Structure 1
């Protein structure tokens, strides 16, 4: 077998090694660390050089011609660390010594060491050069082949003249040609792998986009449910509001007609006038609640920051609810803790509005027992607490959040029995936030409820 057949056999072995390496990497090494893959690739390059020597053309008992330098050419283009090239040259040189130590193998070892250092220099040049990749590849192939040939001529055991005239022309031309062919095949492998990776990345990107779309769909569905729920609440509110507005309006209209037809009985006129007054007040309160809610939602509700006399709040609330407590035969207590500050900085009107809403609910849903307002300072923090407690019907735990939603009550049927629009607590919650505080709640069905307004002292 001559040079041509043996070099073609070397090329076939190199292609086989490259293909097997590609398969092994694709199916077994993708989950390993980058450092492990790096070390394995270096070992594979050295192994490829050993394969070339193993199946090389044996000129005599000691001299072997092969393509052992071709893996070093590929390594020069692939790796980014020059020291790696020196290590690979040293490794392939040791592989030559594994076939016996003699003058030819020592010359081969020296040749590969020189090539390793030379390829390290070429590696630095490749990373700094602005030439096209193809031009760089051609220069590396020619330079390595020429240097390898010169090294054999200088350090080899074959006489210089015999080698240069009889062997070098054939070996050099074949090695350049087959080096270029292998580089092209390996380049095609690389491009195919890159296309596979790009396709894998595109599929991963599509999966991520599909997941994001699915999440967005879930969010949109949740928002649609919230909008539907809000629409239902508003529908319930409009139904309740039509009833709430119709009742005082009908009272005003009917009683106004009775007064106009009255035969002069002053007591009845006075009583009817009181009913008209209360109905008008109820209607005015409903309208004010709606206006306050719309202002809060639009961010246009103004909050005053002024001195608030704490002593005036219990007096005002006692006067407001004393008649209701007597009428329902419910005990009504207001307890002020000792040591309270005389003045806090807040909005007296909005504090009164919140407490009236809380006390109105307490009296509305309490049939017997007591309603109590406690004003005291928080044990921790710079806060003052207004605690409204009752012994009323209580609120189920699963309705705790619902009662603070606008246009909604704990039970849609409650408004039929007790009346109301469900605006008091949502407005109170929003006003408390605007005042820098919040409302906490505790309740048990059949035992009663406690609402605590937390407000900063300033």
Structure 2
């Protein structure tokens, strides 16, 4: 009868310990990482076995009867991982040595170690078996209790005859029944922990979804602002465009009408002057239409790039011829220099390179009132990771009005200028830099900008060498 009392005391202690552990687990370990959970479970199971031994029944000075194997059964059901079960079995056995190193203590270590390996084997079987949870639990409880009884009988710390006839008939049914009872209680704890874990995961998922919705809301708000700005810029673009189109068209219509109505009254010089104005207006109109067509082609991905040899030494003659008149009219210095290390020929699209340089130089002259404009062509080497790469840099420097740093990205967008008043004062549609930037990317290069308001600008076109 004493065995049953002690077993009930053991069970009460284990239930109390499990309840406390359940509370601690809910509020601390639940939020820990998987390795921390695993270590916590191992330590708790070993500690529970040790507590069972403290309150076990002492048959004599060295032999102790208890339910230290029950935490191992519970671990088999709740944490079926072979290595974890072996560690719990060996660890629980080693705690027996804290009550003195005797023959019975050594047998206790050996017994629990064997049970650890038995439970590891049971866990492998449970992972592959299609039996129900209840069936698996009953078989695990029965096997562990049977192996525990066999170990005590075989190792002979207690005489086999005495154990089989006097002790086993009482301890085996009591141990089996209490193991099942405790397993059911722990199963309830485990289901509660599972529900808690599901709630925690659901809360985390809900929190993630809420955060994601918040981010999407911010993105949508930002997108709405961009759409509103884009609508505003396009409205301003249409207003500017109507002005840009109307000016050359009015010149062409008015002067051609004047020539038609007063042909006999006009002198040859006047006719030549009016014809020149009509010609320049037509060129301005054609340039504007070409810009719009180029932008449409770039956005549609239908702008063709034709790579061929481009003689860099021709650049000064081509651009001086085109911009020297503008420089002279505005009384600005205009210099073009080529680096001595520049190769004679580069492989690119000559037409598109000249288009980009014309756009950059046109802007430089447009926004420069005093000083000058220069173009410097040189070879630069940039580090890219562990290797370096050579580029051809076309640097357009001016002493004009400059651009504030916060506007540097803005001016490369289509239909946008650094200031909406600029288009009214200096003219233009804001397409030149956007087209040039897209063309540079299509050529495998890029455009950089260094500028401050009132201190001029430096636009650099980089093309791969």
Using the size of structure 2 for normalisation, the TM-score is 0.83
Task: Assess if the C-alpha contact under 8 Å between 2:76 and 2:122 holds in 1.
Answer: no
The one-character-per-residue Cα deviations of 1:376-396 (angstroms, maximum 9, x if unpaired) are 444776443333333322222
| 8 Å contact kept, 2:337–2:377 | yes
What does residue 287 of structure 1 align with?
289
Inter-CA distance 142–52: structure 2 relative to 1 (3 Å threshold): farther
330-339 or 196-205, which deviates more: 330-339
**Equivalent of residue 392 in structure 1, options 392, 396, 400:** 400
Structure 1 residue 291, shift from structure 2 partner: 0.4
Which of 1 and 2 has greater Rg? 1
CA distance in 1, matches of 2:340, 2:108: 100
Q: Which residue does 1:191 correspond to in 2?
A: 191
Alignment match of 2:114 (pick from 114, 117, 133): 117
**Which residue of 1 is the match for residue 345 of structure 2?**
343
Larger displacement relative to structure 2 (434-443 or 349-358): 434-443
Change over 3 Å in CA distance of 1:405–1:177 after alignment to 2: same
8 A contact 1:119–1:144 mirrored in 2: no
Q: Distance in 1 between matches of 2:90 and 2:257?
A: 111
Report if the CA contact (8 A) 1:49-1:71 is conserved.
Answer: no
Shift of 1:322: 3.0
CA offset digits 1:318-363 (Å, max 9, x no partner): 2322332333333333344556544332222222222222222222
Q: TM-score, normalised by structure 1?
A: 0.84
Spell out, residue by residue over 1:197-251, the C-alpha distance to the aligned partner (whole angstroms, 9 max, x if none).
Answer: 1221221122122222222222232223222222222111111001100111111
Match of 1:453 in 2: 461
Gaps of 5+ in 2: 383-388
Deviates more, 1:431-440 or 1:238-247: 431-440
The superposition leaves residues 283-340 of structure 1 with CA deviations (integer Å, 9 ceiling, x where unpaired) of: 1110000001111111111122222233433223223223323333333333445565
* Partner residue, 1:423: 431
1:63 CA displacement: 8.0
Q: Unpaired segments of 5 or more residues in structure 1?
A: none
| 2:158 maps to 1:141 | no
Of 75, 83, 87, 1:84 maps to 87
384-393 or 207-216: bigger deviation: 384-393
Inter-CA distance 12–454: structure 2 relative to 1 (3 Å threshold): closer
> In the alignment, which residue of structure 2 is the partner of 1:219?
219
CA shift for structure 1 position 415: 1.2
Q: Which residue of 1 aligns with 2:308?
A: 306
TM-aligned CA deviation for residue 59 of structure 1: 7.8
- Pairwise CA RMSD: 3.3
CA distance in 1, matches of 2:5, 2:110: 27
Residue of structure 1 in register with 2:124 after alignment? 127
Classify 1:357/1:45 alpha carbon distance in 2 versus 1 (closer, same or farther; 3 Å).
Answer: same
Correspondence 1:46 to 2:49: yes
User: How many pairs were matched up?
Assistant: 447
